[in-house]
Chain A
């Protein structure tokens, strides 16, 4: 429906036009773009996933609850899922299994645990290739997987979400939870990075 002859206005100008149209309706319902931006900045952060991971590393009973029912377990931290996301499966990486997440049809993510996805996760290359050649893609991304390790790729095609529980670097065993949370990166929650004591 690109009916008009004129070339597209810049993306920023088109965004501003959409915002103008929505503003009035939002105002009537007590919503605003700025408030929604604040919600994105405060609630949709990978620090949430990092806290959950640190607890799972240090508390075996929590780890069990997290693997059995992700939604209920993250609620212990006061972390919810947006209404459309019905459940979150937490996928445990081990020496014999490496999990990695993708959304081949769009770019769905467990936003309240991982945050809005990074650019490369939305790009055509990652979405096209990781289901078919995960080992090569992970190698290229600096996260090679041993041939004897099983690779499990999770395609987010419905409104169930996924988060990887990365392996704890052995040198960090015994660290307090808060210090552990600081080394957990967004990339490791997607399954494209391994962690070290220095983080990422």
Chain B
């Protein structure tokens, strides 16, 4: 989905709030949220792709103003409700107040039937896919051409895995793009490496 989570290349932001050697957690509850997210995966309640999609489905206004760990607890809670482990009413009672969850999702899709293998050095194009569900193509590479650098390990196809569909494992390719191809005349000089699932790629004729 073309959601607000897809941030790469968006303009209008200020400086990074960087402090050297910053602690990953601003408060003890954030570390608990981190642990809870991992534990729920260990418990088999959801997989990482379902989790990521639950974050993406947050209401845009809520997501843009929420801290990272507020997104974490919203996504966990959304999945607990959707999987029938609890209800929103029970969560609100336990929390002693409102508990906004993510919007309901649409369907996913399975691996591309016509996916191909690519060799190191081959030029590839990222398919022009516009899907309402989970996808791991950042918008800034859609339709763009790059060069395959490595074939990466086999991984379940996220567009299926996030939606409870059968997800065959497929390779991800490390594809190198040039910033001037991604944002012609509008980016600083750099090469951008993106790990792209096989189903997202097509050969360049």
A is bound by B: yes
Contact across chains for B36 and A40 when beta carbons are under 8 A apart? no
CB neighbours of B7 from chain A (8 A):
104-105, 124, 127-128
Minimal beta-carbon separation of A138 from chain B (angstroms): 10
> Complex formed: what's the CA distance from A158 to B201 in Å?
14
> Complex formed: what's the CA distance from A90 to B108 in Å?
33
Contact across chains for B16 and A140 when beta carbons are under 8 A apart? yes
Contact across chains for A158 and B172 when beta carbons are under 8 A apart? yes
Candidates B10, B17, B39; contact of A119 at CB < 8 Å: B17
- B30-88, CB < 8 A from A: 31-36, 38-43, 45, 48, 52, 55, 59, 62, 64, 67-70, 73-74, 76-78, 80, 85-86, 88
Contact across chains for B21 and A185 when beta carbons are under 8 A apart? yes
> Complex formed: what's the CA distance from A193 to B20 in Å?
8
Contact across chains for A11 and B67 when beta carbons are under 8 A apart? yes
Minimal beta-carbon separation of B53 from chain A (angstroms): 10
CB neighbours of A26 from chain B (8 A):
39, 43
> Complex formed: what's the CA distance from A13 to B96 in Å?
7
Candidates A2, A40, A89, A131; contact of B101 at CB < 8 Å: A2
Complex A-B: 15 CB contacts under 8 Å: A2-B59, A14-B99, A16-B94, A18-B73, A21-B85, A36-B39, A116-B25, A124-B7, A125-B16, A128-B7, A132-B11, A132-B183, A134-B188, A150-B190, A153-B193
* A-B CB pair tally, cutoff 8 Å: 272
**Which partner residue on chain B sits nearest A107 by CB separation?**
B68
From known contacts A87-B153, A124-B13, A133-B187, infer whether A1 and B102 are also in contact, taking CB-CB under 8 Å.
yes
Minimal beta-carbon separation of B184 from chain A (angstroms): 12
Minimal beta-carbon separation of B109 from chain A (angstroms): 17
CB neighbours of B48 from chain A (8 A):
84, 159
Contact across chains for A128 and B91 when beta carbons are under 8 A apart? no
Query: Is B185 engaged at the interface, CB distance under 8 Å to the other chain?
Result: no
How many B residues touch the partner, as a band?
35 or more
> Complex formed: what's the CA distance from A17 to B87 in Å?
11
From known contacts A1-B100, A21-B85, A160-B152, infer whether A131 and B192 are also in contact, taking CB-CB under 8 Å.
yes
Minimal beta-carbon separation of A126 from chain B (angstroms): 5
CB neighbours of A132 from chain B (8 A):
8-9, 11, 140, 179, 182-183, 186-188
**Which partner residue on chain A sits nearest B17 by CB separation?**
A120
Candidates B9, B68, B94; contact of A21 at CB < 8 Å: B94
Contact across chains for B152 and A14 when beta carbons are under 8 A apart? no
Minimal beta-carbon separation of B126 from chain A (angstroms): 11
Contact across chains for A14 and B8 when beta carbons are under 8 A apart? no
CB neighbours of B128 from chain A (8 A):
none
> Complex formed: what's the CA distance from A20 to B95 in Å?
10
- The total of chain A residues at the interface (CB under 8 A) is 81
Minimal beta-carbon separation of B172 from chain A (angstroms): 4
> Complex formed: what's the CA distance from A7 to B27 in Å?
22
- A130-150, CB < 8 A from B: 131-137, 140-142, 150
- A1-16, CB < 8 A from B: 1-16
Query: Is B104 engaged at the interface, CB distance under 8 Å to the other chain?
Result: yes
Query: Is B155 engaged at the interface, CB distance under 8 Å to the other chain?
Result: yes
Contact across chains for A157 and B25 when beta carbons are under 8 A apart? no
Candidates B98, B103, B183; contact of A9 at CB < 8 Å: B98
Most chain B CB within a 10 A radius of its CB, from A5, A36, A39, A117: A36
CB neighbours of B74 from chain A (8 A):
14
Q: A25-B45, A104-B140 known; 17 other A-B pairs, CB under 8 Å?
A: A2-B101, A4-B92, A8-B100, A17-B91, A21-B85, A36-B42, A84-B41, A102-B8, A105-B5, A105-B6, A122-B68, A124-B64, A126-B16, A128-B7, A132-B140, A136-B188, A152-B191
Query: Is A200 engaged at the interface, CB distance under 8 Å to the other chain?
Result: yes
CB neighbours of B32 from chain A (8 A):
15, 19, 33, 37
Minimal beta-carbon separation of A151 from chain B (angstroms): 4
